[in-house]
Amino acid sequence: MDNITLLIYIVVMALVTYLVRMLPIVAFRKKISSVFIKSVLYYIPYAVLTAMTIPFMLYANDSILSCAVAFAAAAVMAYFKDNLLIVASTASLAAFIVLVLL
């Protein structure tokens, strides 16, 4: 991909993301009444994050084992500790330990 195409992709990405954020904040002042739509919107972020993590986290680097251990360690840590920084570091640290030991 050449630089101009790359720039176009990034700007288009940003425009879509901005519109998704801006439209409801600018346009709506009332609550959505449809329980179905509200429910779909409520579940979507979790479904998206899960689909992006499973199974793709396993292929984040060349060692599937290190990724699998990182996944398990992060999942256990997230279960006990609701903290972004700690859980993200746990994933990296666990993978690093496996990579060093291998």
Partner 1 sequence: MKKNSSLFVNGLYDGIPIALGYFSVSFGFGISASSLGIPTWASTLMSLINVTSAGQFAGISIIASIGTIVEMILTQLVINLRYSLMGLSLTQKLDDKMTLLERFLISYGITDEIFAVAISKEGSVKAKYMYGLILLPVLGWTAGTFLGAVAGNILPAMLSAALSLAIYGMFIAIVIPVCKKNQGVLFCCLISAVVSCALKYIPGLSFISTGFAVIICAIVASVIMAILKPVEEEK
Instruction: Name which of residues 45 to 74 contact partner 1 (CB under 8 A).
Output: 45-57, 60-63, 66-67, 70-71, 74
33 alpha carbon, distance to own chain's centre: 28
Calpha distance 101→26 (Å, rounded): 53
Q: Does 10 bind partner 1 (CB under 8 A)?
A: yes
What are the structure tokens assigned to 94, written together?
Answer: 């666990």
Q: How far is the CB of 57 from partner 1 (least distance, A)?
A: 4
Q: How far is the CB of 65 from partner 1 (least distance, A)?
A: 12
Query: Closest by alpha carbon to 72, among 99, 85, 53?
Result: 53
Q: How far is the CB of 14 from partner 1 (least distance, A)?
A: 4
